[in-house]
A = this chain, B = another copy of it.
Amino acid sequence: MKYKMIAMIPARLGSKRIPKKNLRYLAEKPLIQYPIDLALQIPDFESVWVNTESVALGKAIEKMGARFHQRPEEFSADSCTNREFTYHFMCHHECDYVIMVNSTSPLLRVETIHNFLQYVNENDYDTILSTVSEKAESFYHGKALNFDIHNKVNSQMLEPVEKTVWALTAWKRSTFMELEQQGQCPVFGGKLGTFPIPKDESCDLDTEEDWRIAEGAIQARQEAGKTAPRYLVLEDLA
């Protein structure tokens, strides 16, 4: 790798809609352990940090093999965005790129992180967001966005809308810090790129129902290929 890249996993203890989300077991392990286990499998990360306000959580994640970056309590408020805690993190850790790996994407695969890092390394973006590419007739402000209402075509032929999923984000440290110091918002700063990840690796963890779906998806992935598909038998099917 041309660049020095370090992983930053944000984890606050407070979470509104699903309480104590990061500590909660999703299938067989706590949510926070998913990004840690993933990132530790990537040799291209020079180091793997959890960015949290909680000393207690810091101690727990050190046992899981990650390193603890303590953010000030005020950067864990609901009103804060990744802007504040990422800048604080960068002030303390020298590197070329900070790669944010989010605990809310436990369905990510190692291979996808690897491909993302390759993409970071082979290009020269200041910011790269992971996205899901959606080929579906979409509306924006009540108007048809990517389709012609006078012509129905197969959805594979539609121009995709790329939705940011915040599973993975790459920020060039020098650009991010410079923009922040100039009082500009660095989150989408500089040369901005997107990196589509497989749809089945993105998930939302906003509600209890999302949580159950993700849990089901993890279990289903583990079961994959273990049982053959069953079919309804039609009596007189030719």
In the complex, what residues of B have CB within 8 A of residue A83's CB? 152
Chain A residues 130 to 148 lying within 8 A of chain B, measured CB to CB, are 131, 134, 136-142, 144-147
Number of copies: 2
Known contacts A134-B163, A165-B136, A234-B23; decide if A188 and B145 are in contact (CB<8 Å): no
| Cβ of A218 under 8 Å from chain B | yes
Establish whether residues B20 and A149, one from each chain, have CB atoms under 8 Å apart when the complex forms.
Answer: no
Establish whether residues B139 and A131, one from each chain, have CB atoms under 8 Å apart when the complex forms.
Answer: yes
Known contacts A25-B232, A57-B234; decide if A213 and B188 are in contact (CB<8 Å): no
Name the residue of chain B whose CB is nearest to the CB of A184: B150
| Cβ of A59 under 8 Å from chain B | yes
Establish whether residues A192 and B152, one from each chain, have CB atoms under 8 Å apart when the complex forms.
Answer: no
Chain A residues at the B interface, C-beta cutoff of 8 Å: 20, 23-25, 30, 32-33, 54-57, 59-60, 81-83, 129, 131, 134, 136-142, 144-147, 149-154, 159, 161-165, 184-185, 187-189, 192, 194, 198-200, 204, 207-210, 212-213, 215-221, 223-224, 229-232, 234-238
In the complex, what residues of B have CB within 8 A of residue A165's CB? 136
Establish whether residues A139 and B234, one from each chain, have CB atoms under 8 Å apart when the complex forms.
Answer: no
Contacts A/B (CB < 8 Å), 25 sampled: A23-B232, A24-B231, A33-B232, A56-B234, A56-B235, A60-B235, A136-B163, A137-B163, A137-B164, A139-B194, A140-B146, A140-B161, A144-B188, A147-B188, A161-B161, A161-B163, A198-B209, A200-B213, A209-B224, A212-B224, A216-B216, A216-B217, A216-B220, A216-B221, A219-B220
Establish whether residues A192 and B140, one from each chain, have CB atoms under 8 Å apart when the complex forms.
Answer: no
Name the residue of chain B whose CB is nearest to the CB of A58: B234
Complex Cα spacing A56 to B235, Å: 7
Establish whether residues A231 and B30, one from each chain, have CB atoms under 8 Å apart when the complex forms.
Answer: yes
Establish whether residues B235 and A59, one from each chain, have CB atoms under 8 Å apart when the complex forms.
Answer: yes
Establish whether residues A138 and B159, one from each chain, have CB atoms under 8 Å apart when the complex forms.
Answer: no
Establish whether residues B221 and A212, one from each chain, have CB atoms under 8 Å apart when the complex forms.
Answer: yes
Name the residue of chain B whose CB is nearest to the CB of A165: B136
Most-contacted residue by chain B among A55, A139, A147, A150 (CB, 10 A): A139
In the complex, what residues of B have CB within 8 A of residue A237's CB? 54, 56-57
Name the residue of chain B whose CB is nearest to the CB of A213: B217
Known contacts A161-B161, A162-B138; decide if A213 and B220 are in contact (CB<8 Å): yes
